[in-house]
Amino acid sequence: MRDKIEQLLAEVEQLAARKEQELEEIRVRLLGKKGSITQLFDEFRDVLPEQKREIGQVLNKLKVAAAAKIEELKAVIENSMEPADSQYDLTKPGDKMELGARHPISVTRAEIISIFNKLGYAIAEGPEIEDDWHVFGALNFPPEHPARDMQDTFFITTGENPILLRTHTSSVQVRAMEKMKLPIRVICPGRVFRNEAISARAHCIFHQVEGLYIDKKVSFADLKQAVLLFAREMFGENTEIRLRPSYFPFTEPSAEVDVSCNICKGKGCNICKGTGWLEIMGCGMVDPAVLEASGIDSKEYSGFAFGMGVERIAMLKWQVKDLRLYFENDVRFLQEFDTVV
Ligand code: DAH
């Protein structure tokens, strides 16, 4: 069987070679030195002058057509002699498509949003390029506050109300208070920018989710409850929270929120530096001056706010040791998280 196939294969190849040879013979017969078309050119000398132009044209046409046809047939024969594997093989499997993965920051942000959606928070977004009023002024930062310092903020313009890259998503809080009808219950996810040296623990670009709830009779107990529900959804149902007094210009009183370490369950390990607690966000009751700056009557309304870094939440949840890994986009790293949610 095999011999027979090889024999036939040789015959096919010979056939092509024979055809090529035949074609070459035809070419010589027509266009060679003594070919019939070449001879016609010799005879052309004797054509009457008044017929020269007309006959010359058809003769040239004939020569060009013959040469073109021969070239065309030659190409067909050459193609048919190419080895089979250079032709399309429709039975071959397609190229493997490598699937990417969602980024851990997207996964984490989606999870934070989904938890607060369940608590009735809508999503609000604002511009990344902001003015000083929305990032600082309306949030009760005095003019000389060091956060405005060139070391922290990327300024685009300077002057009366400078344009800058927002350093936190609290600016969206201000825009929500300006625009939305009360009561307000929103979360504001987004990208923020700070003039920081890039290291394992800091980057000049990162992501925050800000939360804001304003209504009549909103209390610190409501804030604590919202934070506790979030912490347990995010880090597990046995998670405890701890609020430490802190300071932010836009909240009074203010607090830092810690969650019990999900690695050592509060016993103390090197992730929580032996304390049993991990800091996850800042929060507080919206300062009456901030409500008033956005035209809300602080005698009638009160509210709480909180803000967290998405990179930090993701690092604590999955023990990512170096922030820079989020920016490298190595799919092997990314694929570890896409299965989580
Ligand atoms: N804006 C703060 C920051 O970027 C985070 C923050 C703290 C937001 C307390 C809040 C809050 O809304 O109440 O560091």
Give the CATH class of 104-337.
alpha beta
Say if residues 129 and 163 touch (Cβ distance below 8 Å). yes
pLDDT exceeds cutoff 50 at 341: no
| Lowest-confidence segment of 80-94, 101-115, 156-170 by average pLDDT | 80-94
Evaluate: CB of 131 within 6 angstroms of ligand 1.
no
- 318's CB contacts (< 8 A; 6+ apart) are 104, 336, 337, 340
- Stated pTM of the model: 0.72
DSSP letters spanning 91-115 = TSPPPPPPP----HHHHHHHHHHHH
The number of beta carbons lying within 10 Å of the beta carbon of residue 303 is 27
Q: What are phi and psi for residue 206, nearest 5 degrees? A: -150, -175
- Which residue bears the tokens 């074609």? 23
Residue 159: its pLDDT value, please?
86
Evaluate: CB of 283 within 6 angstroms of ligand 1.
yes
Model confidence at 147, pLDDT cuts 50, 70, 90, reads: confident
Looking at residue 160, its amino acid is E
- Residues 199-256: pLDDT tens digits? 888 899 999 999 999 999 999 999 999 999 999 999 999 999 999 999 999 999 999 9
Evaluate: CB of 210 within 6 angstroms of ligand 1.
yes
Give dist(CA 154, CA 81) in Å, integer: 67
Distance 290 CA to ligand 1 centre (A): 13
Distance 283 CA to ligand 1 centre (A): 6
Q: Determine the atom of ligand 1 nearest the C-alpha atom of 212.
A: 12
* Dihedral, 308, 309, 313, 314 alpha carbons, nearest 10: 150
Looking at residue 42, its amino acid is D
- Residues 11-70: pLDDT tens digits? 877 887 888 899 999 999 999 889 899 998 888 888 888 888 888 888 889 989 988 999
Domain ranges in the chain?
Answer: 2-87, 104-337
Question: 207: buried, middle or exposed (CB in 10 Å: 19+, 13-18, 0-12)?
Answer: buried
Evaluate: CB of 303 within 6 angstroms of ligand 1.
no
The number of beta carbons lying within 10 Å of the beta carbon of residue 136 is 27
Give dist(CA 98, CA 169) in Å, integer: 35
Report strand pairing: 122-123 vs 184-193.
parallel
